[in-house]
Amino acid sequence: MKINNLENISARAKEAESYNQQFEKKSVEMILVWAAEKFAGKIVFACSFGAEDMVIMDLIYKYKLPIEVITLDTGRLPGETYDLIEATEKKYGLAISVYYPQTSTVEKLTSEKGLFSFRESIANRKECCQIRKIEPLRRGLAGKKAWITGIRKDQSVTRTIAQKMEFDEANQLFKINPLLDWSEEMIWEYIKEKKVPYNDLHEQGYPSIGCQPCTRAIKKGEDIRAGRWWWENPDQKECGLHGYCKVSKKS
């Protein structure tokens, strides 16, 4: 069984690479249309309501693509994110599927380790992300063949290895990153031109927004992801949703 699984992963990875080569000449719109047709009824867009995700949201609506939109409510999101979720549903006339962490698991974590254990070690932080993000996402992806994200290569050092089409080994499905090569400037040009709603925190120095206790505004000259888990090194700053390996620092 293990051998067969490894063979299956290898075959899916090769298939993803084949698609990825095709994507090099396709626009974001073309990739989304292709994905909606290729994985009809079995594809979701996991929206975190960052600026990038709002671009994808707008394109899905513009082309009336039959792609289910899901999001994760960790229970610790900023109020501005909840406001944006409501505004998005009203603007685009859709109902977003929300996945929450298991109450009993959160209760056990906080009763045993407190409300801010994630600041004590990387292991503790990843445990919190596992409970509040990764497990709910797996439920949201269950039974699907592909999922779409809004990640970009220049967001962090951990994402430079990403591709537009990948096989997500952890979740056993394809992952599509259509905005991978877009710059931050391109994202905001689209948002302003198309009048796409976005999180008010972006106007307050928050280029990247996650859970409220793990997100702060950045200072002038800082990296755009500097406000996420700011007490950790840049090569550790992934919650595990995307599964990218640690990038070793060069001496």
Q: What percent of the chain has pLDDT over 90?
A: 75
The per-residue pLDDT for 55 is 98
What is the mean pLDDT of the segment spanning 94-110?
97
Q: 183 vs 9, 53, 71, 89, 200, CA distance in Å?
A: 31, 14, 24, 26, 20
The per-residue pLDDT for 241 is 60
- State the amino acid at position 128 in one-letter form: C
Please tell me which residue, 180 or 224, carries the higher pLDDT value: 180
Which tens digits make up the pLDDT trace of 61-76? 999 999 999 999 999 9
The per-residue pLDDT for 7 is 80
Residue 248 has pLDDT above 50, yes or no: no
The per-residue pLDDT for 161 is 85
Residue 249 lies in a domain: no
Q: Catalytic site residue 239?
A: yes
Number of domains in the chain: 1
Residue 81 lies in a domain: yes
Residue 237 has pLDDT above 60, yes or no: no
Q: From the CB of residue 158, how many other CB atoms can be counted at a distance below 10 Å?
A: 20
Residue 216 lies in a domain: no
Catalytic residue among 47, 129, 214, 239: 239
The secondary structure of residue 215, as a DSSP letter, is B
Q: Which residue range is the domain that position 77 belongs to?
A: 2-204
Which tens digits make up the pLDDT trace of 157-188? 766 788 999 999 999 999 999 999 999 999 99
Residue 155 lies in a domain: yes
16 vs 18: CA distance, rounded Å: 5
Find out whether 45 and 148 touch, Cβ atoms under 8 Å: yes
The per-residue pLDDT for 154 is 84
Residue 132 lies in a domain: yes
The per-residue pLDDT for 236 is 57
Residue 53 lies in a domain: yes
What is the bridge-based pairing of β-strands 43-46 and 146-148? parallel
Residue 37 lies in a domain: yes
Residue 147 has pLDDT above 90, yes or no: yes
CATH number for 11 = 3.40.50.620
Q: 220 vs 62, 207, 224, 226, CA distance in Å?
A: 35, 12, 10, 11
Residue 156 has pLDDT above 70, yes or no: no
Mean pLDDT of the chain: 90
Residue 187 lies in a domain: yes
Which residues pair with residue 72 across a beta bridge? 99
